[in-house]
Amino acid sequence: MSFMDRIKGMLKGHEGMADKGIDKGGDYVDQRTGNKYRSQVDTGQDKVRDEFGTRPNRDNPPQS
């Protein structure tokens, strides 16, 4: 069993909490870097959400 499989197993049933954690982590990085790397952080957050299946609205992403 790979490390990613273990994490996915632990997150099963707690997708909402995982998504909040991803948001908090991204917000922390944005704060520490003065939003200098905001687009890269957002891309990273999206990739993590895709990997763990925690993206809230896959079919209808929010419009910015």
In a domain, 57, yes or no: no
pTM over 0.85, yes/no: no
Rounded Cα distance, 30 and 23, in Å: 10
Of 52, 50, 48, 47, residue with least CA distance to 13: 52
pLDDT band at residue 8 using 50, 70 and 90 as cut-offs: confident
Does 60 map to a domain?
Answer: no
Domain encompassing residue 48: 3-52
Residue 21, domain member (yes or no): yes
Judge whether residue 63 has pLDDT over 60.
Answer: no
* Residue 13 belongs to a domain: yes
pLDDT at residue 56 tops 70: no
pLDDT digits (tens, 9 = 90+) for 9-33: 888 888 889 899 999 999 999 999 9
**Contact at 8 Å (CB) between 29 and 55?**
no
What sign has the CA pseudo-torsion 21, 2, 12, 15?
positive
